[in-house]
């Protein structure tokens, strides 16, 4: 179970995170408020939280508040919450044809779903010592141990089973807009796929009456039929509605239902998933990012648990709604779909589609729109276009080294990437700001994520040495500073992964106070608390053989959304920003910082 940290530990960690962001006077004030909270109302709330947690052993203390945080948010899900991960191309070039890849990935996705629902999907396990635990003999032994104690057997060899409670929401699921708080809807009985092309909505069954998957050649035939349909794009594309403010969308949805669209919407909401087929090829990585992060809202349904997007040249990616689950569940799905569709593809470039009557099997959904709905779609499109217009995406690939060299030098690759972001921001804006790094707590029952706070007194000191005081430090001193940052970042990462961060704990105490109708404690009204939670640099990382790149929008208007990957011999970084910040310059500064760090670690003297 996810532990509730000790209150005194949380306060200490909170103050450590505040230290690099505040001057001495501000810090003293924040420290006073924190200690008063710890002795007073905070202690009472903490004891209530612990009592509540021990009465709800089936879940975790963060589950309720975290779902509420996502589902009560009224901003559009696109760019604010939905993230994307794009697939690597199929290693066999001729398989990157849009129809072939769409068929193979759809088949692999259905195989994954059927394996999962039948209880045959291999458990997700984090192996700290894979030589001992990631073996056939261990799997055989653990298989015969009753599940109530098998996790303990796994712990003995440093293998940590991860929570998979989110997985069922991958399929047949949608976030429904409701006033004040959205709802998650899942209908596992539905057997059809939703396909969007050119703003038109199509559905066809991919599972038959007996629960078997349609033949791949039939799925291929139906997708070919959709790809060759030359119906014009709708004048009022419904997809734009899912990009709206949630309350606005909730009212428009009510109107849609009252206007005779219940059956069509039911088909959209209950579909296995949404396959979006785009009619253009990809130009470059920035174009991949724009396409997968937002694309054309006419051809997306952002409320579905995920959209599998495939462009004209077979470039594929996933855009996923975030309230139901986190990156780890989507990544497992993506890894399996990539492996299955490339190693054992269901169809080949030589395969012929089945000769079936697709015109009767495929249903094109027709939506009845009144004037209010048409006006709603027009307005949604204007807002969406304006937001996308203001969004910049930039990326770099740092080719001068990666994980291998850093491990050789005994520093943490993740710590170095985070240090480079701190250094870059200091170089560009001359300040240290609230920074967020996401860390999965899936090692615990119903764990979600915890925050690592990468801006520390160590990164601040090190960044200032590199950016402002280079001439004062020898290469050895700079190496020491990097090692200190790495050690401390490693500690923060370990704490977060073990459920010992401070962010979720303080967040839950705040939610508890509000749910009891108590006045908001002074601690939470501190400007420093608000500033720490205004995450100007928001970061997330993943590396996988299936994933080419990933990214998300900035979480605040004056922020950066930083998706990064530290590979064996290079580092990739994908940054989103709005006009208040210059993402291109931030990445140039990040590149310079990485160069400096790597040179210092190699023992080279660097110039300013």
209-259 pLDDT per residue, tens: 999 999 999 999 999 999 999 999 999 999 999 999 999 999 999 999 999
pLDDT for 143 equals 83
Does residue 608 have a pLDDT over 70?
no
Provide the β-strand partners of residue 207. Answer: 213
Show the domains of the chain with their CATH numbers: 7-68+392-602 (3.30.559.10), 80-120+169-390 (3.30.559.70), 125-161 (1.20.1280.180)
Per-residue confidence band for 62, with pLDDT thresholds at 50, 70 and 90: very high
Return d(Cα 12, Cα 122) in angstroms, integer.
39
Task: Tell me how far CA of residue 4 lies from CA of 61, 468, 499, 500, 517, in angstroms.
Answer: 7, 41, 8, 8, 22
Does residue 38 have a pLDDT over 90?
yes
pTM over 0.95: yes
CA contacts within 13 A on the Cβ side of 55 = 6
Which position among 222, 322, 505, 591 bears the catalytic label?
322
Does residue 44 have a pLDDT over 70?
yes
Maximum CA extent, the chain: 77
Determine whether 505 is an active site residue.
no
Average pLDDT taken over every residue of the chain: 96
CA 27 to chain centre: 33
Q: In what order do the strands lie in the sheet with 363-364?
A: 363-364, 200-205, 192-197, 274-277, 306-310, 316-320, 83-87, 547-551
Q: Which of 179, 173, 348, 343 is nearest to 248 (CA)?
A: 179
Q: What is the mean pLDDT of residues 280-284?
A: 97
Q: Encoding tokens for residue 365?
A: 């959904």
Q: Which of 345, 263, 276 is nearest to 82 (CA)?
A: 276
Does residue 424 have a pLDDT over 80?
yes
How many other CB atoms are found less than 10 A from the CB of residue 98? Answer: 20
Q: DSSP class of residue 195?
A: E
440-468 pLDDT per residue, tens: 999 999 999 999 999 999 999 999 999 99
Q: What is the mean pLDDT of residues 79-101?
A: 98
259-280 pLDDT per residue, tens: 999 999 999 999 999 999 999 9
Does residue 129 have a pLDDT over 90?
no
Burial 183-195, CB ≥16 within 10 A → b, else e? ebbbeeebbbbbb
430-442 pLDDT per residue, tens: 999 999 999 999 9
Q: Encoding tokens for residue 282?
A: 């990809």
pLDDT over 70, % of the chain: 100
Task: Tell me how far CA of residue 462 lies from CA of 16, 25, 53, 477, 480, in angstroms.
Answer: 16, 23, 40, 10, 9
Q: What is the mean pLDDT of residues 72-96?
A: 98
CA contacts within 13 A on the Cβ side of 486 = 18
Residue 373 or 129, more confident: 373
DSSP 150-166: HHHHHHHTTEEE---TT
pLDDT for 607 equals 76
Q: Encoding tokens for residue 140?
A: 């055989």
How many other CB atoms are found less than 10 A from the CB of residue 13? Answer: 21
329 neighbors 167 (Cβ within 8 angstroms): yes
Does residue 179 have a pLDDT over 70?
yes
pLDDT for 160 equals 84
The helix (run of H) or strand (run of E) holding residue 548 is strand 547-551
Q: Encoding tokens for residue 126?
A: 């984090």
Q: What is the mean pLDDT of residues 562-587?
A: 97
| Torsion 404-408-414-420 (CA) sign | negative
Per-residue confidence band for 145, with pLDDT thresholds at 50, 70 and 90: confident
């Amino acid at each position: 179970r996810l532990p509730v940290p000790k209150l005194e530990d949380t306060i200490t960690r909170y103050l450590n995170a505040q230290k690099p962001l505040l001057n001495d006077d501000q810090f003293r004030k924040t420290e006073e408020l924190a200690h008063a909270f710890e002795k007073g109302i905070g202690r009472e709330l903490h004891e209530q939280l612990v009592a509540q947690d021990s009465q709800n052993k089936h879940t975790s203390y963060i589950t309720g508040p975290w779902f509420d945080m996502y589902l009560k948010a009224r901003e559009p899900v696109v760019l604010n919450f939905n993230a994307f991960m794009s697939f690597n191309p199929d290693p066999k070039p001729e398989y990157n044809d849009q129809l072939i890849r769409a068929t193979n990935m759809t088949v692999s996705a259905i195989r994954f779903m059927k394996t999962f629902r039948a209880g045959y999907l291999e458990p997700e396990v984090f192996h700290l010592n894979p030589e001992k635990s990631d073996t056939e003999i261990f799997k055989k032994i653990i298989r015969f141990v009753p599940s109530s104690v098998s996790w303990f057997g796994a712990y003995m060899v440093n293998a940590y089973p991860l929570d998979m409670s989110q997985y069922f929401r991958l399929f047949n699921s949608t976030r429904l807009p409701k006033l004040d708080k959205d709802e998650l809807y899942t209908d596992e009985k539905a057997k059809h796929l939703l396909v969007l092309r050119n703003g038109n909505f199509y559905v066809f069954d991919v599972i038959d009456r007996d629960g078997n998957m349609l033949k791949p050649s039939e799925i291929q035939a139906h997708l070919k039929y959709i790809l060759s349909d030359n119906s014009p794009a709708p004048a009022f594309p419904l997809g734009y509605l899912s990009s709206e403010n949630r309350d606005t969308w909730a009212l428009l949805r009510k109107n849609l239902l009252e206007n005779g669209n219940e059956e069509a919407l039911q088909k959209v909401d209950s579909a296995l998933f949404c396959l979006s087929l785009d009619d253009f090829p990809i130009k470059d990585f920035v174009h991949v990012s724009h396409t997968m992060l937002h694309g054309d809202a006419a051809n997306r349904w952002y409320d579905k648990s995920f959209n599998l997007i495939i462009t004209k040249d077979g470039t594929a990616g996933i855009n996923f709604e975030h309230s139901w689950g986190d990156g780890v569940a989507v990544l497992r799905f993506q890894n399996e779909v990539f492996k299955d569709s490339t190693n054992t593809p269901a169809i080949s470039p030589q395969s012929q589609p089945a000769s079936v009557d697709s015109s009767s099997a495929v249903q094109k959904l027709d939506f009845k729109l009144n004037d209010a709905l048409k006006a709603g779609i027009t307005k949604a499109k204007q807002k969406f276009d304006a937001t996308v217009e203001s969004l910049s995406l930039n990326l770099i690939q740092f080719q001068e080294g990666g994980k291998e060299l850093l491990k050789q030098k005994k520093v943490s690759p993740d710590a170095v990437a985070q240090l480079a972001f701190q250094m870059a921001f200091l170089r560009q804006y001359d300040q240290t700001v609230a920074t967020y790094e996401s860390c999965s707590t899936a090692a615990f029952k119903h764990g979600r994520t915890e925050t690592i706070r990468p801006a520390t007194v160590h990164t601040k000191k090190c960044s200032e040495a590199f950016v402002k005081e280079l001439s004062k430090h020898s290469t050895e001193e700079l190496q020491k500073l990097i090692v200190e940052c790495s050690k401390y970042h490693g500690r923060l990462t370990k704490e977060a992964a073990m459920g010992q961060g401070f962010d979720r704990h303080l967040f839950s105490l705040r939610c508890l106070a509000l749910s009891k109708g108590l006045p908001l404690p002074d601690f939470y009204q501190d400007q420093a608390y608000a500033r720490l939670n205004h995450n100007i640099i928001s970061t997330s990382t993943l590396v996988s053989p299936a994933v080419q790149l990933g990214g998300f929008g900035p979480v605040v208007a004056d922020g950066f959304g930083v998706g990064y990957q530290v590979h064996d011999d290079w580092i990739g970084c994908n940054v989103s920003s709005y006009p208040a910040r210059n993402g291109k310059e931030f990445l140039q500064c990040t590149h310079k910082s990485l160069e400096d760090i790597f040179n210092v670690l190699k023992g080279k003297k660097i110039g300013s």
